[in-house]
Chain A
């Protein structure tokens, strides 16, 4: 244990924020689990607590493991991982799982272990590293759009096309984050606008096809459109019910909140432990709790900016931002849904929600940011020994790129 603690490197504030959020997450998860146990009628509250603890422990294992890999290795890893991710995504989509007749092929179950795994989360992280790598590679060149199609947009569109039918919001977030990263990485603005246009066009096409031939592939188009409609119109729908409950939770929470575990609305909010956890947190810990939580995410954002700022390499900057900004963005989105600033998306609150394996991908991202934040001096020992270890394929790969 002591050894591990001594080996902790990188931005201490990020470590602190992540640990704090991780520990805090037990409270709302434990509280909200009573809904699953007594209303939905599955499992035991203690069971959910243990499960959450195990997931979180493994998550911290991932952070620790990943943060000790030097950041430059991720370039090579992303190239290796890209085809694997595409295969996994295709496999996931091919399963054809449906929820209420809509395509919900988001998970594959890991053999032997018996837990399900949301491949899109992994794909997002890998894709962001991949894009960061590409942007680093072209940093000194002036690329034409044609040149960038194959190495950049091909993989991006493949990933998004494989996620989109089952999970619109995740696909949307990934797409926006890729665009954001390209913007940060200096990819020409005119091309970006073109891509946005193409994206919109293909999305419209997809929706139209899906609407025209509902039997072709069971999709979630109807779910999205109904969610967006319910956000814009005044009719009573399931989503309105959730939003109303969430707002009741926020309103009754008041400034100080009702106290840990005393939420009432958790019994009525169907997704109280994931999608609407922020409303439950405000109900139990009040405006103060809600603002504090927001503060920690913004602190994380601030530290990510610092990490990017102090990273000596362009790749370091871009990869830290590429995997870091989506975390904060997703957190803000989750909160925005709870306060009815955004339609219901089904995005979890990173590091807090008991989102299962998706939290591991957040941990993976955190690990990468921490890896970037590790100062050259801290790795000096290992770097001094071997400039390029010829036996390490990653070293070779990274050196080449």
Chain B
């Protein structure tokens, strides 16, 4: 088999051709992937390596009416320690100084931290908890601690940041301030203002495109966010932190004293309906009180005697009776069908006027008055109540407002005794805020104002939306009726027979109505019988500024349960303190005085200063201040002797400025 150059080369050309063809096949496939399959794989690249990230906007702040922060979002830091990444030498060297530093900041002893760190090291713990919920300044300090200042890899420092909602003023109006959570499906839940005004507070999420560079590592693409995050608006609430504080503590004290189940206080500005304070306290199992539910807004219950005002106003409006009309309260017992209306005073009040009946809060008198006057046409009474907006919700932005109940004849539960029972606050149901709204309308001469918790929505210093006074009804009753009702409410406190006379103070006036409603009265067991003690009213009596309602549920009967005893003192204490803390202020506007001399000399200076000089100006006679500013603006160094007006200038005016570098002024 002879092999020679030639046949080797021939065979080689065959092989080489094959290899070239293979190379072209590779190139063809390369182009094919780019051109034909290109779009598919580019799309796949996007899918596999790019992801849209959301940037959380900052939630808006919630302010009180004077701009104090009620709720704000802050960063909180959790510090953890990776004991494995730290070298043994570093660990040994820094453990004591680090523990000392931690002890200095966080309180526990240095040995506690040494033990904690050593344990982490021994167990190869890469996620040992050091401290939770540090604020920003503490976090910055921790970052500079020995060992930790060497960073996450050498120092083992792990930092987790989270944003939490903080209430800088503590638990004040906590339930009304509320909260808002969002779940994974984007569904919002929560209570109070945070929830009600959530859409304003939330802001708009930003979007940022990021590219995957490794597992769980993403880097941003491009300069800008796809969508810029927009921070939430700020809310200014009507809450006055001083009044809120007073209301909160007054209520708390009384709840503790009477070991009551729960209670609430609302203080409202009479004219505008702005809720200045709203406090809800409920008892926990261990006997402590805290803001559990928004009773003031959410809890609809039988109001009891405070409803006598509504009956009174209705009767006066319908002109079925006069305040001076005399009603026989018999012996404090009045049998109607198979039931008996009882007065709290054993033996009754005898024959008294309607006015006195209101003052002493006679159930018999009111039952008789309403029943006798409306029994032929019960719906007239009910319609009057409804006309005064009593059957309707206030339509508050805060979710969960309790439904009021005012039954009409023919409704389920209506009976022959309904009129009598309704007259003093049973078989009807109102929330404390609804009751207060009515009382406020009386204080306002009949104008019913909608209670408000929010004043305005703001973005920085710009007002986005303003919430003004909203009138539900311009007049629920005539001015005369309102005046009569006001007079009676005042007498409840002022008159020595009045149920609220214990509240009387010669120094300032209050008006209001007590209420002691029975709860669970359907039960025959006397132990189950509970009371709701209420006081609703306004102050000062003559020129009402604030209306207020105090409702305390289930006080300990052995301590007391009458509205005047339980809720009254809270009302009084609030009225007294609010009055003491809102002094009258007068402002006097003073026109700014214009100084003629100053004006003219300024004008002169201004003219001089505007000129362009090529030659030294004459500054003699000018005030030193003006002369220096003119000359130094020309680039001349000025030396000054003395003070006052320029007496002498070292370089005379008219000298060419090109040669002048400095000048000395003598002032007198």
Residues of A within 8 A of B (CB): 38-39, 135, 138-143, 180, 183-186, 188, 244, 247-248, 250-255, 264-265, 267-268, 282, 287, 290-291, 294, 297-298, 301, 305, 308-309, 314, 317-318, 321, 325, 328-329, 332, 335-336, 339-341
Contact = CB atoms under 8 A, between A and B. Distances in A.
Given A38-B214, A252-B45, A186 B19 contact: no
Nearest to A311: B5
B42 A335 contact: no
A282 B4 CA distance: 42
A38 B34 contact: no
A330 to B, nearest CB: 11
B48 A184 contact: no
Contact of B33 (A183, A247, A297, A309): A247
B26 A264 contact: no
A314 B23 contact: no
A250 B30 contact: yes
A328 B45 contact: no
A251 B37 contact: yes
A340 to B, nearest CB: 7
Interface in B1-45: 1-5, 7-9, 11-13, 15-16, 19-20, 22-23, 25-27, 29-34, 37-38, 40-42, 44-45
A267 B214 contact: yes
* Consensus secondary structure, chain B interface: helix
A341 B25 contact: yes
Contacts of B31: 287
B620 to A, nearest CB: 71
A254 B3 contact: no
B101 to A, nearest CB: 31
Given A141-B1, A188-B1, A332-B19, A248 B29 contact: no
Contacts of B284: none
Given A248-B48, A252-B45, A139 B26 contact: no
Contacts of B7: 186
Given A301-B19, A339-B26, A250 B212 contact: no
Contacts of A305: 12-13, 16
Nearest to B40: A251
A318 B12 CA distance: 10
Contacts of A329: 19
Given A142-B1, A186-B8, A317-B5, A339 B42 contact: no
Contacts of A138: 1
A251 B27 contact: no
Q: Which of A188, A250, A251, A329 has the most CB of B within 10 A?
A: A251
B45 A264 contact: yes
B39 to A, nearest CB: 8
A184 B27 CA distance: 26
A313 B4 CA distance: 10
B49 interface: yes
A283 B290 CA distance: 64
Nearest to A254: B34
Contacts of A248: 41-42, 44-45, 48
A308 B3 contact: no
Contacts of B5: 314, 317
B3 A139 contact: yes
Ranked 4 nearest A-B pairs via Cβ: A251-B41, A186-B3, A339-B29, A139-B3
A17 to B, nearest CB: 15
B291 to A, nearest CB: 51
Contact of B211 (A186, A264, A317, A325): A264
28 contacts: A38-B214, A139-B4, A140-B2, A184-B12, A185-B3, A186-B7, A244-B44, A247-B33, A251-B41, A252-B41, A255-B34, A265-B49, A267-B214, A287-B31, A290-B27, A294-B26, A294-B27, A305-B12, A305-B16, A308-B8, A314-B4, A314-B5, A321-B12, A328-B19, A329-B19, A335-B30, A336-B26, A341-B25
Contacts of A314: 3-5, 8
Contacts of A143: 1
Contacts of B26: 294, 332, 335-336, 339, 341
B213 interface: yes
Contacts of B13: 305
A305 B26 CA distance: 21
Interface of B: 1-5, 7-9, 11-13, 15-16, 19-20, 22-23, 25-27, 29-34, 37-38, 40-42, 44-45, 48-49, 211-215
A184 B15 contact: yes
Contacts of A291: 27, 30
Contacts of A253: 34
A307 to B, nearest CB: 11
Given A139-B3, A183-B15, A314-B4, 15 more contacts: A39-B213, A140-B3, A186-B7, A247-B33, A251-B38, A254-B34, A255-B34, A265-B49, A267-B212, A267-B214, A287-B30, A291-B30, A294-B26, A339-B30, A339-B33
Nearest to B29: A339
Contacts of B44: 244, 248
Contacts of B215: 39
Nearest to B213: A267
Contacts of A244: 41, 44
B47 to A, nearest CB: 10
A40 B507 CA distance: 82
A143 B26 CA distance: 38
A252 B44 CA distance: 10
A336 B16 contact: no
Contacts of B214: 38-39, 267
Contacts of A267: 212-214
A264 B49 contact: yes
A205 B159 CA distance: 60
Nearest to B10: A184
Nearest to A264: B49
B29 A180 contact: no
A380 to B, nearest CB: 22
A298 B29 contact: no
Contacts of B1: 138-139, 141-143, 186, 188
A128 to B, nearest CB: 14
Contacts of B16: 301, 305
A180 B22 CA distance: 15
Contacts of B213: 38-39, 264, 267
Contact of B11 (A184, A255, A290, A298): A184
A251 B33 contact: yes
B19 to A, nearest CB: 6
Given A135-B3, A248-B48, A332-B23, A287 B34 contact: yes
A329 B19 CA distance: 7
Contacts of B25: 336, 341
A309 B49 CA distance: 50
A140 B3 CA distance: 6
Nearest to A318: B8
A328 B3 CA distance: 25
A308 B12 contact: yes
B30 A184 contact: no
B392 to A, nearest CB: 63
A297 B23 CA distance: 9
Nearest to B50: A264
A273 B389 CA distance: 80
Contacts of A141: 1
A184 B8 contact: yes
Nearest to B7: A186
B37 A298 contact: no
B15 A180 contact: yes
B23 A294 contact: yes
Contacts of B9: 308-309
Nearest to A246: B33
Contact of B8 (A185, A251, A297, A332): A185
Nearest to B36: A251
B433 to A, nearest CB: 60
Contacts of A328: 19
A294 B388 CA distance: 93
Nearest to B49: A264
